[in-house]
Structure 1
Amino acid sequence: MTIRITADNLSMRFNDRVLFHIPHLSLGPKESVYLRGANGVGKTTLLKILSGLQTATTGKINLDQPHWSVRLLGRSGNNQIVYLHQNPFLFDGTVYDNVIYGVKYTAMSKQNKRNMVINALRMVGLETLADEHISVLSGGEKQRVAMARAWVLKPSILLMDEPSASVDQESIDLLVIMAKDLLDRGSSIVVTSHQTNALTEICHRQWTISDAKLIESTPLKVIVSKDKYAPAKAN
């Protein structure tokens, strides 16, 4: 089930510093957002607030469903919000164990769960490594495992924090395949990245955090300027 998330008068303060103040934002089904900004402006903090992993100083998060909660892997009834860390949290076990965790306690049959996991691993090019311990994987491969685990959840909202950092082009391309599939299914996605890449190119909206404000540009058009984090200008 897809959901819409909105926020009003959202702000985050650390001691006397206001990290950001956002009068309003919204994210609906099939929307893809590229979240930009310099280091320390609050991109990760904003994603954690939207996911429910962190509480804002002021403001309110609203969903179009009356009951919701979020976990690291994100699941609550029909409402799902998944937050992918830049350094994915993976369990001490096999690649297969890590991916099936997302659907381990669902009502699906054991065979259906296995089929879904194998399909996810096939999509990220790791099917042959299903029985390998997670420790033998490269950084890019671990990010693919985290994405496969998110994909099997079929989340309504996927928040991706620097997913392309320190990964190879093959991994980025495979993450794009899964992200596009989720968008086609009605999910919405927010991607943070310090530079444009194949993942940011699938985004149709842009949020830029600058001077404690959230600036939105749509449709997305990245403009190269002296300030590499200057907001893009719409056509």
Structure 2
Amino acid sequence: MSQIAIQAEDISIRFKDRLLFHIPHLKFGPQEAIYLTGGNGVGKTTLLKILSGLQTPTTGTVNLQHQNWFARLFKSNGKNGVIYMHQTPYMFDGSVLDNVCYGLKFALKGRQEQRSEAITALRMVGLETLANEHISVLSGGERQRVAMARAWVLKPSVLLMDESSASMDKESIERQVVLAKDLLERGSTLVITSHQQNALTALCRRQWCISNSKLIERADLQLIKKDKDNYAFG
């Protein structure tokens, strides 16, 4: 896996006369987990799309280059290994296994190796027994597990998780955490948005908060576990 740092300078988004946010400088590197917070409509999703290269800011630059058609379709930046996971991830018309294997078709791997890696990912998210079922039979939470498995097999340098745990129960979040931890150990960086603190946000040691059109950062975020199900910032 190639390890990269992302740096953005003077990025802003405007809608006519309205400034959504302006961020003079932003940077993160390998093996970081960042919790992105803020109220509804402040621009969290927009910021993640800018960092992934899927949206162009009104001003400023991000050190991401060109994307191919696959990058735009799959919500990933194939060249730099950046993947954006939406709250309602796009699924292809096919089996659960097909959806996980899809990105591997572009990774120059043999068919058997693709299948083996995809099955391993589905086993890790608890969906191995549904591998040959059509994607339409899955619930919203199960689709998020598939999206996480699909991201994991590609071993991205940066994974941007936009409310990816919103429709998940506790078990599903814990399955997501297993893959997230593995990616961090491999050198990936995670940026996670979530309205609720949970086991996934507990991985984070940095926090970004968008407020009053600005990005406020807290370094070395310390998480205090109140009980086994709830987390609070200290």
Q: TM-score, normalised by structure 1?
A: 0.90
Q: 2:106 maps to what in 1?
A: 105
CA contact (8 A) 1:121 1:145 kept: yes
| 1:123 Cα offset (Å) | 0.5
CA distance in 2 between counterparts of 1:221 and 1:94 reads 41
The corresponding residue for 2:121 is 120
Distance 1:36 1:222, change over 3 A: farther
Query: Deviation above 6 Å: which 4+ runs of structure 1?
Result: none
Within a 5 Å distance, the mapping from 1:140-219 to structure 2 comes to: 140-219=141-220
8 Å Cα contact 2:76/2:83 also seen in 1: yes
Distance 1:153 1:25 in 2: 25
Query: 1:28 matched to which residue of 2?
Result: 29
Q: Is this contact kept in 2: 1:35–1:192, CA < 8 A?
A: yes
- Cα RMSD of the aligned pairs, angstroms, is 1.5
> Which amino acid letter does the alignment assign opposite residue 74 of structure 1?
S
SS of equivalent to 1:197: coil
Match of 2:76 in 1: 74
Conserved 8 A contact 1:7-1:25:
yes
Does structure 2 conserve the Cα–Cα contact (< 8 Å) formed by 1:73 and 1:102? no
Identity of aligned residues (%): 63
SS at match of 1:92: coil
Aligned equivalents of 2:89 and 2:108: distance in 1? Answer: 26
Q: Provide Cα deviations, 1:80-120, integer angstroms capped at 9, x if missing partner.
A: 11000001110111100100001013221111111100100
Contact 2:202 2:223 in 1 (8 A): no
Structure 2 unaligned residues grouped into runs of 5+: 225-232
Give the drift of 1:75.
Answer: 4.3
Distance 1:218 1:91 in 2: 39
Residue ranges of structure 1 left out of the alignment (5+ in a row): 224-231
Determine the C-alpha separation between the residues in 2 that align with 1:222 and 1:213: 23
Deviations 1:161-197 (A, max 9, x none): 0011121111110011111100100010100011211
Q: Does 1:9 align with 2:33?
A: no
Query: Is residue 59 of structure 2 the alignment partner of residue 58 of structure 1?
Result: yes
What SS does the aligned partner of 1:181 have? helix
Q: Tell me if the contact between 2:54 and 2:75 (Cα under 8 Å) persists in the aligned partners.
A: no
Q: Tell me the CA shift for residue 222 of structure 1.
A: 6.2
Provide the C-alpha distance between the structure 1 equivalents of 2:112 and 2:167, rounded to a whole number of angstroms. Answer: 35
1:227 aligned residue: none
Q: Equivalent residue for 2:229?
A: none
Q: What amino acid is the match of 1:160? A: M
CA change 1:73–1:116 in 2 (3 A) is: farther
Asked whether the equivalents of residues 36 and 207 of structure 2 are also in contact (C-alpha less than 8 Å), the reply is: yes
TM-aligned CA distance change 1:168 to 1:184, over 3 Å: same
CA contact (8 A) 1:159 1:191 kept: yes
Q: Which whole-Å CA distance do the structure 2 matches of 1:29 and 1:136 have between them?
A: 36
Preserved CA contact (<8 Å) 2:3 2:157: yes
Paired residue secondary structure (1:104):
helix
Give the Cα separation in 2 of the matches to 1:106 and 1:41.
Answer: 36
Q: Report if the CA contact (8 A) 2:11-2:57 is conserved.
A: yes
SS state at 1:26 partner:
strand
Which residue in 2 is equivalent to 1:41?
42
